[in-house]
């Protein structure tokens, strides 16, 4: 045991007049959880004493803070104490507590705050509008995040998102745009005590801000969704407490100096019962313990490609090192979503597939997409392709001219072929490439890497121990082209030295001779796509 002297804080007498202190009456009419008051001089004392990981959050100067941790880490207590501090020291503050559904804040922050804050601090409370107004003019409102567009009219100085993993990234980013209330700022003064102003080109005075304590906090258990990609991995600082000791790879170009993340394991809370951790971990699977006790964002539960990070390799110029390597490209079309080209090269001698280039576009027409593809394919000779460019097999919807997407690209001299349909087969093939160490993804393909490292099946729970057999159909616009590429190649890329193979394992030259009438097999004399109702992309309708 440490010999260091420990300070025991006692709150018996008023620090101002030394009169006895008594529990303040909370807004709910019960004795306050932490507040004491002096009935003689009207002094109030908050006896809350944060644990080290809680104090670090309260003192953190970053604008946006991730409060992440497992069960029993005191996240809710940290949340509402930080919130109360803000609204008490900020006259006319406008603060919001938000969650996916109202029950999540009603049973945590709202409930605990109202049992603690002294009733005499509150001026008005509207049950209908879910809004509390303090005597200093500060406003505290509660909102469910059912529609991010409903957040647009707010002008906030503080926001708190409860259970961030249950909400959408759009709500977080919308609240960021609302964090603009100058009530949580202090204007600079000069040596004479006068306010300092800047003058804009039109002669208007703009206050010079000396102190700014606007803040947004996102509280959550660890998760592989947006709280990881949009907060943790872009954090200026990642602070870990307890037994948390994971290394998170970050792209320096995406780090945001306004964001920090705090990760605490259940072990940090010294007020928990001695057998609490053993009790909740008993007979639980490793993924559950790693996520909800050890507070790891790197748990592999539910990830479709859990080991793909080992395939990431530093970028090198493919034209200098492997100019003779055969190339392959696949394309996932998106209109409102991103359209993505993924380029690959096969080192037949080493038996490796290199993904060396990605082109990500949005809201572009066919001509612009075709131009981007041709630019990306510059320098590759006709004989340098393994096969035709590959496209989503579902891209078979026809317009009023009875043209599908592949036919439109033919107008620009690009002949696409359909990729493999079966999701199960694609996942198995790509995982085989990963596990057998036959895939390399260059680190310049940041969009693909961000998608594939977080691509997951629908989350499994302890009540439903069967994992969904299909991945979530979102954030896969770069993943699908990679899957189609792997399906087009033999299971071992080294076999390309013996010939070029398709997803059925047949040599493409031989296959081409057997199927010259297949519509997407181009010929010089006849444009079979234009002359055939079947495009190669259609799946026939069957009646049962």
pLDDT in tens, 198-257: 999 999 999 999 999 999 999 999 987 889 989 999 999 999 999 999 998 888 999 999
Query: In which residue are the tokens 């995982």 written?
Result: 431
Q: Could you tell me if 177 and 233 are in contact, meaning their C-beta atoms sit under 8 angstroms apart?
A: no
Q: Report pLDDT for 322.
A: 85
Burial of 272 (0-12, 13-18, 19+ CB in 10 A): middle
Task: Give the number of residues written for the chain.
Answer: 544
Q: Could you tell me if 334 and 475 are in contact, meaning their C-beta atoms sit under 8 angstroms apart?
A: no
Structure letter (DSSP) for residue 7: P
Do the domains 52-292 and 308-531 sit in the same CATH topology, yes or no?
no
Q: Which residues contact 19 (CB under 8 A, 6 or more apart)?
A: 13, 38, 39, 40, 41
**Element of type H or E holding 377:** none
| Tokens read off for 161 | 């998102």
Distance CA 250, CA 58 (A): 25
Sheet containing 139-144, strands listed edge to edge, beginning at the edge strand earlier in sequence? 122-126, 131-134, 139-144, 94-99, 158-162, 215-220, 64-69, 256-264, 235-241
Q: Report pLDDT for 534.
A: 40
For the chain, helix (H) and strand (E) counts, in that order, are 16, 23
Following CA atoms 109, 110, 114, 116 in sequence, which dihedral angle do they give, to the nearest 10 degrees? 0
Following CA atoms 135, 91, 86, 96 in sequence, which dihedral angle do they give, to the nearest 10 degrees? 80
Domain made up of 52-292: CATH architecture:
3-Layer(aba) Sandwich (3.40)
Q: Which residues contact 523 (CB under 8 A, 6 or more apart)?
A: 516
Q: Considering the domain 308-531 in this protein, what is its CATH number?
A: 3.30.420.280
Distance CA 337, CA 451 (A): 14
* Distances in whole angstroms, Cα of residue 136 to Cα of each of 183, 207, 435, 466, 527: 12, 23, 61, 53, 77
Q: Which of 170, 180, 27 is nearest to 111 (CA)?
A: 27
Q: Could you tell me if 153 and 140 are in contact, meaning their C-beta atoms sit under 8 angstroms apart?
A: no
Structure letter (DSSP) for residue 215: E
Q: How far apart are the first and last CA of the chain?
A: 76
| Tokens read off for 173 | 């980013």
Question: Which of the residues in the chain have pLDDT under 70?
Answer: 1-8, 299-301, 335, 395-403, 459-469, 497-544
Domain boundaries, the chain: 52-292, 308-531
Q: Report pLDDT for 515.
A: 43
195-207 b/e (C-beta count within 10 Å ≥ 16 → b)? eeeeeeeeeeeee
How does DSSP assign 147-176, residue by residue? -GGGGTT--BSEEEEESGGGS-HHHHHHHH
Q: Report pLDDT for 528.
A: 38
Q: Report pLDDT for 30.
A: 97
């Amino acid at each position: 045991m440490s010999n260091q002297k420990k300070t025991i804080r006692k709150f018996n007498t008023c620090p101002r007049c030394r009169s006895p202190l008594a529990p303040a009456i909370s807004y709910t009419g019960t004795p306050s959880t932490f507040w004491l008051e002096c009935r003689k001089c009207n002094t109030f004392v908050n006896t809350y004493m944060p644990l080290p990981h809680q104090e670090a959050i309260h003192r953190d100067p970053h604008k946006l803070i991730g409060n992440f941790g497992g069960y029993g880490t005191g996240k809710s207590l940290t949340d509402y104490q930080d919130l109360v501090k803000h609204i008490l020291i900020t006259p006319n503050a406008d603060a919001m507590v938000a969650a996916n559904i109202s029950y999540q804040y009603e049973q945590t922050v709202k409930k605990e705050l109202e049992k603690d804050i002294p009733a005499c601090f509150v001026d008005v409370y509207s049950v209908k509008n879910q809004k509390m107004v303090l005597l200093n003019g500060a406003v505290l409102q509660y909102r469910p995040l059912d529609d991010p567009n409903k957040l647009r009219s707010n002008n906030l100085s503080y926001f708190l998102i409860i259970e961030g993993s249950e909400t959408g990234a759009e709500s977080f980013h919308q609240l960021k745009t609302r964090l603009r209330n100058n009530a949580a700022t202090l204007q600079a003064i000069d040596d004479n005590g006068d306010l300092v102003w800047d003058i804009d080109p039109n002669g208007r005075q703009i206050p010079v801000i000396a102190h700014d304590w606007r803040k947004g906090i996102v509280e959550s258990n660890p998760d592989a969704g947006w709280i990881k990609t949009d907060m943790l991995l872009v954090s200026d600082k990642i602070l870990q407490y307890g037994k948390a000791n994971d290394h998170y790879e970050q792209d320096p170009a995406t780090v945001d100096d306004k964001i920090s993340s705090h990760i605490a394991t259940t072990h940090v809370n010294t007020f928990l019962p001695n057998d609490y951790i053993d009790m909740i971990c008993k007979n639980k699977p490793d993924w559950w313990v790693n996520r909800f006790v050890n507070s790891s964002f790197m748990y592999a539960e539910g990830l479709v490609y859990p080991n793909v990070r080992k395939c990431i390799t530093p970028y090198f110029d493919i034209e200098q090192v492997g100019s003779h390597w055969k190339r392959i490209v696949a394309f996932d079309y998106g209109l409102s979503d991103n359209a993505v080209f993924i380029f690959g090269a096969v080192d037949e001698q080493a038996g490796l597939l290199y993904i060396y280039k990605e082109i990500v576009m949005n809201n572009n027409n066919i001509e612009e997409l075709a131009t981007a593809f041709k630019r990306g394919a510059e320098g590759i000779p006709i004989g340098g392709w393994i096969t035709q460019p590959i496209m989503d097999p579902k891209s078979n919807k026809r317009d009023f001219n009875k043209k599908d997407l592949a036919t439109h690209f033919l107008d620009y001299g690009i002949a696409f072929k359909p990729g493999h349909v079966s999701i199960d087969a694609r996942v198995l093939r790509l995982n085989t490439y990963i596990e057998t160490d036959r895939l390399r993804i260059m680190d310049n393909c940041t969009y693909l890497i961000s998608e594939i490292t977080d691509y997951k099946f629908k989350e499994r729970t302890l009540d439903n121990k069967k994992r969904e057999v299909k991945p979530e159909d979102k954030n896969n616009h770069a993943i699908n082209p990679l899957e189609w590429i792997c399906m087009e190649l033999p299971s071992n890329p080294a076999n390309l030295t013996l010939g070029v193979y398709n997803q059925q394992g047949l040599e493409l030259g031989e296959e081409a001779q057997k199927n010259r009438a297949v519509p997407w097999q181009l010929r010089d004399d006849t444009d079979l796509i234009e002359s055939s109702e079947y495009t190669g992309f259609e799946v026939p309708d069957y009646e049962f």
